[in-house]
Structure 1
Amino acid sequence: MNAPSSLVPSTSPTSKRQAALSDEGIKEHLDSWFATHGQALIQFRRYLHAHPELSGCEQGTAALIAERLAAAGLQPTLLPAGNGVICDVGAGERTIGLRADLDALPLPDLKDVPYRSTIDGVCHACGHDAHTTVLLGTMLALAEIADLLPVRVRALFQPSEESAPFGAMDVIDAGGLAEVDEIYALHCYPQLPAGQVGLRVGGLTAACDLATVRLTGPGGHTARPHLTVDLVGALARLINEVPALLARQFDNRGGLLVVFGTLHTGAANNVIPQEGTAGCTIRVLDTEIWRQIPKAFDEIVRHITAPSGAKVEIDYQRGVPPVMNDERLVSIFATAAGVALGPGSVHPAPHSMGGEDFAWYLEHVPGAMVRLGVGRSDITVDLHQGDFDIDERALEYGVRLMTQTVIETGRR
């Protein structure tokens, strides 16, 4: 992949002398860095937006990131599949992780912009191109003051956040969390304007699993359902009753939500089919409830379908646990945002029922995710829509926030 080549940091003595670890010194360093590289950073994001890659297939994006990091004098390492990058900058007794996800979604890009996706049916509709660009910019800016950093910083550019098998596990298996003490991430949030962020202590996102139930029977004529297995009727009961019955097994403060999104069966109005499937997502805010759901789901499905006589197969796929933001790290994020973005830039983030595989890192080390405002006044769109786009000023705000977070972490 080819991309703008000007995104290479300056290593001039002047730039290093300007870099000090005071708030004002970091601001001066970033002001200088953006004066030189700000437009190139925007062009890098636009290149990624025009050349999206689906989950597991991010080799081109990863190679481009590694190339830019190496040009900065860093030593990036590709994941074994070549679709992610791990890279350190600085030194110190503590190591903090910064994570970005690389993958796009299987959606058509509906925008009329010069950087519209060039890949049919694939689009960066969740802002991962922005996440990647912010983390790359942060690493390049930090590379210029590497010898001054109070901590070692590890960038984790991970594949496959959007679909299983999730890329966080690939990064962990490759040693990405080795010696990491804590980890930070950001996610685009179009509900806030650029220059604003959302933070929340504790649960930020929900756990999310997938389940598909397959029912089979001998089939038959709709005139004689008593002589066979009424498969469609059994599926209808399943879809209607599972959400309520499963929710009644647990404390309702856990926020359990079961929604069926697929139903496949039958080909003729007068034929009872021999096979049918129904698929759902299971989302919950409470980690302990999440651990108990697979067994309860299995029991309830079999209880509901038993009277029909249908044979049951359940494919239950573990997705992700909930993101649980660490209180101390949220405080660091909030302090950094106040310095980097100004007073009044931090807002309460609502609890989301969406899933996020950043949670897998938090099974190993404390961490926090911030909602980065990317909203534009000229359009109103949400994530996972084909016309999603960002206010590109958010790229600079994101780099300033993450850089200041590194510095603030080193002070505590």
Structure 2
Amino acid sequence: MNKHIHELVTDGSDYVVKLRRHFRAFPELGGQEVETQKKIIAELMAMGLNPRSAAGTGVIAEIKGGRQGKTVAIRADIDALPLQDEIDQPYRSRNAGRCHACGHDGHTAVLLGIAKVFSAIQEELPGTVRLLFQPSEEKFPGGAIAMIADGAVEGVDAVIGAHLWQPFEVGTMGLTYGPMMASPANFTITIKGSGGHGSMPHQTIDPLYVGAQIVLALKSITGNLVNANELAVLSLGVFSAGDTFNIIPDSATLKGTVRTFAQSTRETIFAAIDRMCSGICAAAGATHILDCYYGYPPVINNPEVAKIVAKSGEAVLGKTAVFEMSPTMVAEDFSYYQQQVPGCFMFIGVGNTDKEIVYPHHHPKFDMDESGFSHGVEILVVSALNLLQA
């Protein structure tokens, strides 16, 4: 069977690359993937499948095998980023300010390639494969919740998904047997002071000065207040205040992110943020408001499913090409599916320094080695087949 699968994947490799280039050229943001949805449905219908819309702009399709068995779901995210595409390629984005700079164009094309393979062996299939084309992964609260509400994992025995991953060289695959991706939380700190003329700072409560002290204080939290055995990140991305050189503003705003695996660690960090802001503001006569938004839960792979996926990856890439990676602090709403059924997420390498494919995810010049797409198709197909028979 695996030899036949490899032949089908090889035969369909141009199809997957062509689709990926189409999706890269016509990216759509989360919740707006109207044309993307139409294209996915058209391709699936051309294979003789009966897809349905889900979660607004998502798609669910099933391939029922000729033999009774389990049900395995495979998920791909389909949305793009609000970013101007800067690659020098014919498939550069034609939608201004929209770019598939995270690889979701490849994820969508790979899942369509998987559909093509399973459609070709449908009669031999020992169970059912459910295809989940999910919108809005990049946009809180994520599209997974809505997909689940629309029956994405109803009756499913296992769910798998993959991220085409530029930091890993093409021909490799990484995964974990437990915690893999962190839970994100965003926060905004609004500092209220009292503005005035820049020549008379003694008549003001300067929120810029207060904010600068808060920035320095917050950077000490993960190093000094979090257990060294706990993974945690606190990063600031915005510090804004005023717009004129000689006017001290009334307020300043800080925005940042906290990434953790344990809820208790997150609670420790946010308690420290609030405590430090209170103390620094009180000393200066200012006040603050802390607004928090808790994002996706952490991605935690089911060990038994991960073992089957790892063995499947080894069958495709070779034993030395599949490795246990360290957990990463990036986030994924794939975790919501894992809260419902046993699941495994993996990273499949698409980086290639020889081809100058070196720009990271979310960079306007991000690209992928397209030879890695066939690896993604084959690994996920073999994984699903092995899970159906586990």
Give TM-score, length-normalised by structure 2: 0.92
- 1:39-58 alignment, distance < 5 Å: 39-58=14-33
CA contact (8 A) 1:52 1:124 kept: yes
Aligned-pair CA distance for 1:265: 0.5
The answer to whether the aligner puts 1:133 opposite 2:109 as a matched pair is yes
1:148 to 115, 124, 129: 124
In structure 1, C-alpha distance between the alignment counterparts of 2:55 and 2:101, rounded to whole Å: 27
Flag the 1:261–1:32 CA change in 2: closer, same or farther, 3 A. closer
Q: Which amino acid aligns with 2:64?
A: G
CA contact (8 A) 1:101 1:128 kept: yes
Aligned-pair CA distance for 1:247: 5.5
The answer to whether the aligner puts 1:290 opposite 2:266 as a matched pair is yes
Flag the 1:251–1:108 CA change in 2: closer, same or farther, 3 A. same
Q: Give the match for residue 50 of structure 2.
A: 75
Q: Give the match for residue 216 of structure 2.
A: 240
Flag the 1:252–1:343 CA change in 2: closer, same or farther, 3 A. closer
In structure 1, C-alpha distance between the alignment counterparts of 2:233 and 2:275, rounded to whole Å: 17
Flag the 1:94–1:29 CA change in 2: closer, same or farther, 3 A. closer
Q: Deviations over 1:29-74 (max 9, x none)?
A: 4404642x33222111111111111122111111211111122222
RMSD: 2.1
In structure 1, C-alpha distance between the alignment counterparts of 2:23 and 2:4, rounded to whole Å: 28
Q: Give the match for residue 87 of structure 1.
A: 61
Q: Which amino acid aligns with 1:46?
A: R
In structure 2, C-alpha distance between the alignment counterparts of 1:42 and 1:56, rounded to whole Å: 25
Aligned-pair CA distance for 1:302: 2.7
What secondary structure does 2:90 align onto? coil
Q: Give the match for residue 61 of structure 1.
A: 36
Q: Give the match for residue 362 of structure 2.
A: 384
In structure 2, C-alpha distance between the alignment counterparts of 1:330 and 1:315, rounded to whole Å: 37
CA contact (8 A) 2:226 2:268 kept: no
CA contact (8 A) 2:278 2:287 kept: no
Q: Give the match for residue 99 of structure 2.
A: 123
The answer to whether the aligner puts 1:341 opposite 2:312 as a matched pair is no
Q: Which amino acid aligns with 1:196?
A: T
Q: Give the match for residue 387 of structure 2.
A: 409
Q: Give the match for residue 305 of structure 2.
A: 329
Q: Give the match for residue 365 of structure 1.
A: 341
In structure 1, C-alpha distance between the alignment counterparts of 2:251 and 2:49, rounded to whole Å: 56
Which stretch shifts more, 402-411 or 161-170? Answer: 161-170
- 1:190-205 alignment, distance < 5 Å: 190-205=166-181
Aligned-pair CA distance for 1:27: 2.3
Unaligned runs of 5+ in 1: 1-24
Q: Give the match for residue 73 of structure 2.
A: 97
Aligned-pair CA distance for 1:312: 2.1
Aligned-pair CA distance for 1:403: 0.6
In structure 2, C-alpha distance between the alignment counterparts of 1:171 and 1:326, rounded to whole Å: 21
Aligned-pair CA distance for 1:236: 1.1
Unaligned runs of 5+ in 2: none
CA contact (8 A) 2:141 2:296 kept: no
In structure 2, C-alpha distance between the alignment counterparts of 1:175 and 1:136, rounded to whole Å: 20
Aligned-pair CA distance for 1:229: 2.1
Q: Give the match for residue 210 of structure 1.
A: 186
2:195 to 209, 214, 219: 219
In structure 2, C-alpha distance between the alignment counterparts of 1:273 and 1:184, rounded to whole Å: 50
Q: Percent identity?
A: 33
Q: Deviations over 1:235-291 (max 9, x none)?
A: 112111123246544323212221111111023343221121111111123344236
Q: Give the match for residue 351 of structure 2.
A: 375
Q: Deviations over 1:170-197 (max 9, x none)?
A: 2122221222232111111223332221
In structure 2, C-alpha distance between the alignment counterparts of 1:407 and 1:80, rounded to whole Å: 27
Q: Count residues in correspondence.
A: 386
